[in-house]
Structure 1
């Protein structure tokens, strides 16, 4: 488990829904009504906010998660996976009796994915889960779920010195109301994708959108998929663009979460913006090469393996771009991706994994 930050604060506080994900990849055809296709690979993984929790923990950031877990087999396995295998602090999380853990089936095909989700309302409000006395260096929040009350957890966190990194989902209404961006007044960073950023700012490029959003928040990062990312640090007066890192993409599930987690690491370590952004692009590229969302989040061992391979291939551009890895890689990195397993032997009819309340 990662060590706590100075003063007893965790590095990252997370809250949000936990899903049990089933991810099918390497399909032999396109799923259509009335047909059957076969998948070459299947991954079972905690999903939702668990993607972020695993990504931050594998990079050595002490991570606390405030979430609700069902007391069914899916929820118990997700709890055990996060607490025992990944070292995520679940002190603020709760297990709900007779509440089904949300489940998502993700089908990766033709470079994109289709998802089927079953979810019922969470019995515990976010503020109840998070509680008072927030001590975290950074936190993630979704603008769509941010309440406006004075005692909203993320606002209290920001006032206590926590850097709040905000994201936002696709607006299916098509309104793209700029009022949705009001919570950014209390946030440190905003990380929309290119389409979302341009829609909210009524601009025609990622750069123009980033410049408009930089008037609202100290750090804005607009992700552009295969085109890389653009970021503006208003406090430092920096504007940076980076290219994506070449990858053999298999499954994009959780890649955005890995990008965000990596950016937080660079921010907390006070790296130059270009270095933080390049590091985040690299971690996201490594994530899409493996199926499974949380399972695919790279650890320092995976990064060390990539760096060794890259230097051997003599790709001068990549070696020059990521030369900083020589300085930031731990001396003997061991954290690596997990296997995509859902072992039945872990479960008993009368008791779940140790530690579930």
Structure 2
């Protein structure tokens, strides 16, 4: 990891992140910022889970069987996956969520607010309310999960009223949608996603709120089912009739996109890597897409950057804390460039499509990011991880 120093300007719990403080010590939007910009780049809302992830198992346990795992990681999960991914890419990120009053909530609040620089000023801690928790077991490319939690004592739509303004918001069409109504009549770009429809109906009426959105980013299964199409490329064309920016992700098979505002169409193959844990990979891609859109990068570059960030994430385990920071991106680009210059044909072939990174990545060391650990501590120094 390239970096090495804790951020002395990290906000205190409950305080908004100062505009001068970027948790990655690098602001990819610095040249475009104006005094009249809203305080946040992206606003999110949802449920935060305390994730415990077991890895290094050859198989999932049978009923009544106990297996010992080789790896264990703890990290904030749920909507925290997307919030951390966005903050690590230098986006000024705000999160609206309900937190409990237990030790899990203490640690997650500290990690997100102080170590990741996420604005939690509109989030709330509730007395006598405990954190939602997910236990995940990863083996042979599959996962089994057990989750426990309760609905927030207060609707997110009420808390969001106190959130700072943002240039973009990421919403879940299958979740609580009341809260993002405040953005649909303003300048905020709304990026929508949707989950798997367990009812099997895949009712196109569920997509009606897209009339108020800038972008829709379903995966291939969701996109094809909702649009009644037989391939991701046909699905993305159908979605492009509903929103200005249509993106369909297809895992290891890449991503498809159409931007009606620029007339661009693009396909991007996935970066081939050996995945350790795919938890949160889609959230990392979404955060990269928001950054690229706000930065007004060409569509193909947005997809390639999202693919790269996802590839870097799945080589770590632990969900949100596997999200790459700029130190990871600099390291990948530097090692690839060095290998290509030494005559490595494969490195040169891989490097070619990413030459645009030369104009994006910082040319100085940036702060390193902590990774998921077996236990959680209240005073961890990110520079040590």
The TM tier, using the shorter chain, reads over 0.9
Distance 1:133 1:312, change over 3 A: closer
> How far apart are 1:18 and its partner, in Å?
0.4
Deviations 1:162-199 (A, max 9, x none): 11110000000000000100010000100100000000
Distance 1:344 1:190, change over 3 A: closer
Q: Choose between structure 1 and 2 for higher RCO, CA contacts under 8 A separated by at least 6 residues.
A: 2
**Secondary structure at 1:245 match in 2:** coil
Given that residues 277 and 317 in structure 2 are in contact (C-alpha distance below 8 angstroms), is that contact kept between their aligned partners in structure 1?
yes
**Secondary structure at 2:71 match in 1:** strand
Distance 1:164 1:241, change over 3 A: same
Does the alignment pair 1:42 with 2:68?
A: no
Aligned partner of 2:169 among 118, 136, 139: 139
> How far apart are 1:339 and its partner, in Å?
2.8
Note the 1:38-187 alignment, pairs <5 A.
Answer: 38-131=68-161, 135-147=165-177, 152-187=178-213
Gaps of 5+ in 1: 348-357
Given that residues 58 and 139 in structure 2 are in contact (C-alpha distance below 8 angstroms), is that contact kept between their aligned partners in structure 1?
no
Does the alignment pair 1:269 with 2:295?
A: yes
Given that residues 73 and 375 in structure 2 are in contact (C-alpha distance below 8 angstroms), is that contact kept between their aligned partners in structure 1?
no
Does the alignment pair 1:332 with 2:364?
A: yes
Given that residues 110 and 378 in structure 2 are in contact (C-alpha distance below 8 angstroms), is that contact kept between their aligned partners in structure 1?
no
Deviations 1:23-80 (A, max 9, x none): 1111133221121222111110000111111111111111111111111011111000
Does the alignment pair 1:319 with 2:351?
A: yes
Deviations 1:93-130 (A, max 9, x none): 00011111000011111112221110111111011110
Q: In structure 1, how many angstroms separate the alpha carbons of the residues matched to 2:206 and 2:365? A: 41
Given that residues 55 and 297 in structure 1 are in contact (C-alpha distance below 8 angstroms), is that contact kept between their aligned partners in structure 2?
yes
> How far apart are 1:318 and its partner, in Å?
1.3
2:373 is aligned to 341
2:343 is aligned to none
**For this pair of structures, how many residues does the alignment match?**
343
Q: In structure 1, how many angstroms separate the alpha carbons of the residues matched to 2:86 and 2:109? A: 16
Distance 1:344 1:58, change over 3 A: closer
| Cα RMSD for the two superposed structures | 1.7
Given that residues 277 and 315 in structure 2 are in contact (C-alpha distance below 8 angstroms), is that contact kept between their aligned partners in structure 1?
yes
Q: In structure 1, how many angstroms separate the alpha carbons of the residues matched to 2:377 and 2:164? A: 37
Q: In structure 2, how many angstroms separate the alpha carbons of the residues matched to 1:73 and 1:274? A: 43
Moved segments of 4+, more than 6 Å? none
Task: Name whichever of 327-336 and 225-234 sits farther off.
Answer: 327-336
> How far apart are 1:158 and its partner, in Å?
2.6
**Secondary structure at 1:203 match in 2:** coil
Does the alignment pair 1:192 with 2:218?
A: yes
Q: In structure 1, how many angstroms separate the alpha carbons of the residues matched to 2:213 and 2:305? A: 22
TM-score (structure 1 length as normaliser):
0.92
Q: In structure 2, how many angstroms separate the alpha carbons of the residues matched to 1:286 and 1:344? A: 23
Gaps of 5+ in 2: 1-20, 341-346, 380-385
1:353 is aligned to none
Q: In structure 2, how many angstroms separate the alpha carbons of the residues matched to 1:194 and 1:203? A: 10
2:259 is aligned to 233
Q: In structure 1, how many angstroms separate the alpha carbons of the residues matched to 2:377 and 2:361? A: 36
Note the 1:296-315 alignment, pairs <5 A.
Answer: 296-314=322-340, 315=347
> How far apart are 1:298 and its partner, in Å?
0.2
Q: In structure 1, how many angstroms separate the alpha carbons of the residues matched to 2:306 and 2:378? A: 34
Q: In structure 2, how many angstroms separate the alpha carbons of the residues matched to 1:294 and 1:142? A: 18
Q: In structure 1, how many angstroms separate the alpha carbons of the residues matched to 2:292 and 2:369? A: 20
Q: In structure 1, how many angstroms separate the alpha carbons of the residues matched to 2:365 and 2:307? A: 20
Task: Name whichever of 305-314 and 290-299 sits farther off.
Answer: 305-314
Q: In structure 2, how many angstroms separate the alpha carbons of the residues matched to 1:204 and 1:222? A: 13
Aligned partner of 2:250 among 203, 224, 228: 224
